[in-house]
Amino acid sequence: EVQLVQSGAEVKKPGESLKISCKGSGYTYTNYWIGWVRQMPGKGLEWMGIIYPGDSDTRYSPSFQGQVTISVDKSINTAYLQWSSLKASDTAIYYCANRKEGAFDIWGQGTMVTVSS
Amino acid sequence: QSVLTQPPSASGTPGQRVTISCSGSSSNIGSNTVNWYQQLPGTAPKLLIYSNNQRPSGVPDRFSGSKSGTSASLAISGLQSEDEADYYCAAYDDSLNGPVFGGGTKLTVL
């Protein structure tokens, strides 16, 4: 079965760092781009960036460039999204998704990140 | 403010046909294909339509998509209570060099 499994919910304080993960299985991980999508509470979907596990080529949405870092460890079929200094406004659900034929066809279950003092 | 524009809400009764619109520009819908996603309450989004009008395996043929110029539409026929969800359109944007989403439409089955 093709699936993406994300790491569990996180509760952090402003200024702390965080790295969440997205592990793929059931397909050739290095052949498809993996994207990250943010959903703030009660809001819509926002594309953050995308990475190609085969060569780590990474693209960021202008809205998120410099705010987060996307990386991958292809040896363990896992992509990462990280922050060096969290803000309260980073509170959201973060989804990873596999991009195939121009669409996000497989989604992870989401990781809830809560940033509060 | 989303790059793609959708109505915030839509509604219908069981068995009805409803449509959801998605408006964009020449840099996104006008030059690239459109995808639609369904997000049931409390769950991750699911791909519903890709490449304007293609259904992934397992998606009922009650769901259909179309595109014309810089606009697209999702149609749901034979509306069912389990169709109550948020629906998002998306397309690649050549100016932003990445995919953009609509703001989402909340579908209520009355």
Distance CA A66, CA A72 (A): 17
Chain B neighbors of A106, CB-CB under 8 A:
47
Say which residues have a Cβ less than 8 Å from residue B17's Cβ, sequence separation at least 6: B75, B76, B77, B78, B79
* Whether A105 and B103 lie within 8 Å, measured CB to CB: no
Render pLDDT for A76-116 as a digit per residue (tens, 0 to 9).
999 999 999 999 999 999 999 999 989 999 999 999 999 99
A105–B47 CB contact, under 8 Å: yes
The pair of structure tokens assigned to B27 is: 């840099």
B41: contact with A, CB 8 A cutoff:
no
Q: Which residues of B88-97 are buried (b: 16+ CB within 10 A; e: fewer)?
A: bbbbbbeeee
Query: B101 by DSSP, 3-state: which?
Result: strand
Q: What is the pLDDT of residues B16-75, one digit of tens each?
A: 999 999 999 999 999 999 999 999 999 999 999 999 999 999 999 999 999 999 999 999
Whole-angstrom distance, CA of residue A18 vs CA of residue B13: 45
Rounded distance between C-alpha atoms, residue B86 and residue B108, angstroms: 9
The verdict on B98 touching A (C-beta cutoff 8 Å) is yes
Residue A45: which of B33, B92, B101 has the nearest Cβ? B101
pLDDT at A42: 95
**What pLDDT does residue B14 have?**
97
Q: What percent of chain A lies above the pLDDT cut of 70? A: 100
Per-residue confidence (pLDDT) for residue B76, from 0 to 100: 98
- For residue A27, the model assigns a pLDDT of 86
Mean pLDDT of chain A: 96
More confident residue, A29 or A86: A86
Beta strands per DSSP E along chain B: 9-12, 18-23, 34-39, 46-49, 63-68, 71-76, 85-93, 98-101, 105-109
Query: Is the model's pLDDT at A26 over the cut of 90?
Result: no
Give bridge partners of residue B38 from the DSSP assignment: B46, B87
For residues A34 and B84, give the distance between their C-alpha atoms in angstroms, rounded to a whole number.
28
Q: Mean per-residue pLDDT for B7-19?
A: 97
Q: Which of A59, A95, A110 sits opposite B98 (nearest CB)?
A: A59
Among chain B residues, the shortest Cα distance to A51 is held by B98
